[in-house]
C-alpha cells in the first residue's frame, strides 16, 4: 500500500496469520491456476491479450480496466434502483475507513459504531429511521474475533435491510457475509464510479456498491452515499464538490469531438470532475453517431445549468460549425470555432465559473487560416489571460518534461535560449511539482547539442553560455538540479527514476521520448498560467477523423490531471 508492505499497514491489523511473502505463497499451488506477477499496466494488457476465452481472470480493478482497454464496449446507463433507504456497512479496520466514516457524519448521515463486546454477545441492535445509515465496528478489532465480528455485523445490518434497500459494502468479507445473509448469490456489475467502487445490480433489482475497504479518499464513502440517496437522480456519485472543467472541443474537423464523447461518458471521469464541453452540440452528436453511441447531448446556457447523470453530456453550444463540415479537412471555419471555444473557456476560468480548462486538439494551420496568429493553445491562453511567459509541460506517470522553447523553428529556438529563460523555466517546473506534492523534485536539464557538446567537441559552447549559469544559480539556492546532461541519457535516467522532471531545450527533444510512451500516456499542461489548463498530447489526426477509431485515453488522462490539479491547493 503506497510503497509500505501490506503487513506493516494498519490494514493488516485484523489478520491473525503472518503476512505471506507473495500471492503464490498465500494461495499455494492449485492445479490449473497460474499466478502472474505484474508491475505495470502493460503487463496486465499482455496477460489479458494472452488469455483464451475459457480463462477466468481473477485480480484487482486494474485487471478489469485492462480487459476494458482490450475489449472496449459502449458505456451503459443504469439508473439507481428506487429505494427508501441505503445501508452502508463498513467492516474494515484502518484509519482510512475511520476518516471516511467521519465524513459521512459531517454530511449528517448517522454512523452507528457497534461495540465489539455487544456484537459478539448478540446484543447489538440498531433502530434508525434515516434514509441513509452507516454501520461499523467501534474501536480496533481483535484479530482473533474478526470473522465473528463481521458475521455479527452482517446480522445487525440484515435486520435493517428490506427487499429494496440499496447497499454500500466495503471489504470483501463484509460484502460476502452481508450478501449471504440476504440470499444474494450474484451481482451484475454496471460500472465503476470511483477507483474500486463497483456499482452492481442484484437479480432482485437493488443497487449494491462494493469497494475494497482500503480504497478511496476521505470523501469517498460520502460521495457514494450521495449517489445512492433517494431523490438524488441529478447527482453523479462523485460530483459533490468536484471541480467544473471547461472542456474545449478543439478543431471540429479533427478527432476532438470523437475523443470527447467517450471521455465524458467514462464513469471514471464522472467520478473526478464535472466536465462541460465548450463546442458545437451538433458536431458532438455526429461524433457520437460515428462511435455508435447515443448519449443525451444537452445544451446549457451556463455552467450552473449543467446536470451530471450517467449518459449525459452538457455543452455550452457556440453553434459555429456547418452541418456538412468535412472530417479531416483543413477548414478556417473550424479554426475560428476552435479559437472561440478557447476564448469562452478562458473567460469562464478567469471568472471562477470553472476550476480548470481541458483542451481537445486544435489544428494550428486552421487556426492561422482563420487569422488567429498563435502557435497553439499555450500562447493563445497566455494572451487571452494576460500572462507574459508560460511553459509547456508534458506529464506522464513515468516521465515529466518541461520545455524551455516550444513552437518555433530549431534555429530560432537555439537563438532564444538564454540563461534567464532557462532559469525561469526550471523554476516554473520546480514550483509545479512542489504544488503537486513533491517538496524536493530532482530535476535534470538537457543540453542542446549531442552529448551536451562533449566538452566543446560539438556545437559552439551553447551549453556553457546558455544553460550552465542558470543551473549554477539554482543549485546555489538549494534546488536539486543537474545539467546540462546529454539529452538521450537524461531521458534514460529519468525513465529509471533518477529525475522527477526533465528540462528539455526544444519541442522535439522533450516530445519524442514522451510520445514513445504511447498516445494515451501524455498530458500537456500549461505551467505559469493563473488558471489550470491540461490537454491531450496528440493532434487533430485528420487522417483518422470521423472514422470512430481514435483512442480517447489521453483525453481521459487530461481530464483526470485537470481535476487533480484543481483539487490540489494551488494552480500550476
Ligand atoms: N493539443 C493540441 O492542440 C495539439 C495539436 N496538434 C496539432 O494537430 C495537427 C496534426 O498534428 P500531427 O503532427 O499530425 O499529430 P497527430 O497527433 O494529429 O497525428 C499523428 C499520428 O498519430 C495518430 N493519432 C493521433 N491521435 C490519435 C488518437 N487519439 N488515437 C489514435 N491515433 C492517433 C494520427 O492518426 C497520426 O497517424 C497539427 O496542426 C498540430 O499542430 C498537435 C499536438 C497537440
Ligand atoms: N506539441 C504540443 C502541441 O502542439 C500542443 O500545443 P498547445 O496547443 O498546447 O500549445
* Chain segment 30-80, per-residue pLDDT in tens: 888 888 888 888 889 899 988 888 899 988 777 887 887 777 655 555 566
End-to-end CA distance of the chain: 28
Q: Which atom of ligand 1 is nearest to the CA of 550?
A: 30
Gap between the Cα atoms of 315 and 263, Å rounded: 14
Query: From the CA of 84, how far away is ligand 1's center (Å)?
Result: 49
Give mean pLDDT, residues 349-360: 94
How many whole angstroms from its chain centre is CA 183? 36
Give the model's pLDDT for residue 108: 83
Ligand nearest the Cα atom of residue 377: 2
- Which of 174, 167, 176 shows the shortest CA–CA distance to 83? 167
The percentage of the chain sitting over the pLDDT mark of 70, rounded to a whole number, equals: 93
Query: From the CA of 319, how far away is ligand 2's center (Å)?
Result: 24
Ligand nearest the Cα atom of residue 519: 1
DSSP string, 474-526: HHHTT--EEEEE-HHHHHHHHHTTS-SEEEESSHHHHHHHHHHT-TTT-EEEE
- Copy the grid coordinates of residue 227: 449517489
Reported as a single tens digit per residue, the pLDDT across 219-257 is 888 888 877 765 443 333 444 568 999 999 999 999 999
Q: Which of 259, 541, 557, 562 to mutate to test the pocket of ligand 1 (most atoms within 8 A of CB)?
A: 541
Instruction: Determine if ligand 1 sits within 6 Å of the CB of residue 544.
Output: yes
ipTM: 0.97
- Which of 102, 100, 113, 96 shows the shortest CA–CA distance to 9? 96
CB contact at 8 A, 480 and 488: no
160-183: b or e for each residue (b if 16 or more CB lie within 10 Å)? bbeeebbbbbbbebbbbbbbebbe
Query: From the CA of 302, how far away is ligand 2's center (Å)?
Result: 28
CB contact at 8 A, 146 and 139: no
Q: How many residues does the chain have?
A: 572
Compute the mean pLDDT over every residue in the chain, rounded to the nearest whole number: 88
Instruction: Determine if ligand 1 sits within 6 Å of the CB of residue 255.
Output: yes
How many whole angstroms from its chain centre is CA 273? 9
Give the model's pLDDT for residue 78: 59
> pLDDT band for position 9 (50/70/90)?
confident
Pocket of ligand 2 (CB under 6 A): 376-378, 511, 524, 535
7 vs 305: which has the higher pLDDT: 305
Gap between the Cα atoms of 405 and 3, Å rounded: 36
Give the model's pLDDT for residue 73: 59
| DSSP helix/strand/coil, 534 | strand
Helix H or strand E segment including 299: strand 296-299
106 vs 491: which has the higher pLDDT: 491
DSSP string, 152-172: HHHHHHHHH--TT-EEEEESH
Query: From the CA of 249, how far away is ligand 2's center (Å)?
Result: 14
Instruction: Determine if ligand 1 sits within 6 Å of the CB of residue 248.
Output: no
Cis, bond preceding 49 (omega within 30 deg of 0): no
Query: From the CA of 12, how far away is ligand 2's center (Å)?
Result: 46
Gap between the Cα atoms of 25 and 7, Å rounded: 14
Q: Report pTM.
A: 0.65
Amino acid at each position: 500500500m503506497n510503497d509500505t508492505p501490506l503487513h506493516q499497514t494498519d490494514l493488516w491489523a485484523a489478520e491473525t496469520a503472518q503476512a505471506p511473502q507473495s500471492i503464490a505463497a498465500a494461495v499455494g499451488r492449485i492445479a490449473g491456476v497460474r499466478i502472474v506477477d505484474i508491475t505495470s499496466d502493460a503487463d496486465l494488457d499482455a496477460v489479458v491479450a494472452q488469455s483464451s476465452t475459457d480463462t477466468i481472470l481473477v485480480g484487482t480493478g486494474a485487471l478489469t480496466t485492462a480487459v476494458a482497454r482490450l475489449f472496449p464496449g459502449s458505456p451503459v446507463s443504469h439508473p439507481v434502483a428506487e429505494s427508501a433507504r441505503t445501508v452502508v456497512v463498513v467492516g474494515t479496520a484502518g484509519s482510512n475507513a475511520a476518516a471516511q466514516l467521519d465524513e459521512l457524519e459531517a454530511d449528517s448521515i448517522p454512523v452507528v459504531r457497534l461495540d465489539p463486546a455487544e456484537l459478539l454477545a448478540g446484543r447489538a441492535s440498531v433502530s434508525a429511521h434515516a434514509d441513509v445509515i452507516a454501520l461499523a465496528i467501534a474501536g480496533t478489532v481483535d484479530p482473533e474475533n474478526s470473522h465473528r465480528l463481521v458475521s455479527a455485523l452482517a446480522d445487525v445490518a440484515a435486520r435493517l435491510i428490506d427487499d429494496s434497500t440499496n447497499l454500500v459494502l466495503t471489504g470483501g468479507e463484509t460484502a460476502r457475509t452481508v450478501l449471504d445473509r440476504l440470499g444474494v448469490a450474484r451481482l451484475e456489475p454496471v460500472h465503476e464510479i470511483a477507483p474500486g467502487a463497483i456499482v452492481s445490480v442484484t437479480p432482485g433489482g437493488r443497487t449494491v456498491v462494493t469497494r475494497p475497504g482500503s480504497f478511496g479518499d476521505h470523501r469517498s464513502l460520502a460521495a457514494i452515499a450521495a449517489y445512492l440517496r433517494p431523490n438524488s437522480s441529478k447527482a453523479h456519485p462523485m460530483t459533490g464538490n468536484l471541480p467544473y472543467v471547461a472542456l474545449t472541443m478543439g478543431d471540429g474537423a479533427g478527432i476532438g469531438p470523437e475523443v470527447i464523447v467517450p471521455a465524458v461518458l467514462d464513469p471514471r471521469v464522472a467520478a473526478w470532475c464535472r466536465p462541460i464541453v465548450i463546442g458545437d452540440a451538433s458536431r458532438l452528436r455526429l461524433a457520437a453517431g460515428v462511435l455508435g453511441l447515443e448519449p443525451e447531448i444537452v445544451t446549457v446556457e451556463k455552467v450552473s445549468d449543467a446536470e451530471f447523470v450517467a449518459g449525459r453530456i452538457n455543452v455550452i453550444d457556440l453553434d459555429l460549425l456547418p452541418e456538412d463540415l468535412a472530417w479531416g479537412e483543413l477548414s478556417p471555419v473550424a479554426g475560428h470555432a476552435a479559437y472561440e471555444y478557447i476564448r469562452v473557456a478562458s473567460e469562464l476560468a478567469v471568472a471562477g465559473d470553472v476550476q480548470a480548462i481541458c483542451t481537445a486538439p486544435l489544428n494550428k494551420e486552421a487556426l492561422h487560416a482563420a487569422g488567429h496568429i498563435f502557435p497553439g493553445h499555450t500562447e493563445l491562453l497566455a494572451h487571452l489571460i494576460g500572462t507574459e511567459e508560460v511553459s509547456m509541460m508534458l506529464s506522464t506517470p513515468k516521465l515529466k518534461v518541461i520545455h524551455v522553447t516550444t513552437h518555433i523553428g530549431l534555429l530560432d529556438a537555439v537563438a532564444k535560449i538564454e540563461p534567464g529563460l532557462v532559469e525561469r523555466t526550471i523554476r516554473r517546473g520546480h514550483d509545479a511539482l512542489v504544488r503537486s506534492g513533491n517538496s524536493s523534485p530532482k530535476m535534470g536539464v538537457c543540453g542542446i547539442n549531442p552529448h551536451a557538446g562533449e566538452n566543446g567537441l560539438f556545437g559552439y559552447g551553447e551549453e556553457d553560455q546558455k544553460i550552465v549559469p542558470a543551473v549554477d544559480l539554482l543549485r546555489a539556492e538549494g534546488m536539486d538540479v543537474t545539467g546540462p546532461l546529454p539529452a538521450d541519457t537524461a531521458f534514460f535516467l529519468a525513465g529509471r527514476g533518477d529525475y522527477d522532471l526533465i528540462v528539455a531545450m526544444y519541442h522535439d527533444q522533450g516530445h519524442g521520448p514522451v510520445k514513445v510512451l504511447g498516445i494515451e500516456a501524455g498530458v500537456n499542461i500549461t505551467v505559469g498560467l493563473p488558471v489550470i489548463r491540461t490537454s491531450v498530447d496528440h493532434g487533430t489526426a485528420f487522417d483518422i477523423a470521423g472514422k470512430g477509431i481514435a483512442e480517447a485515453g489521453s483525453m481521459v488522462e487530461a481530464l483526470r490531471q485537470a481535476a487533480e490539479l484543481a483539487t490540489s491547493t494551488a494552480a500550476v
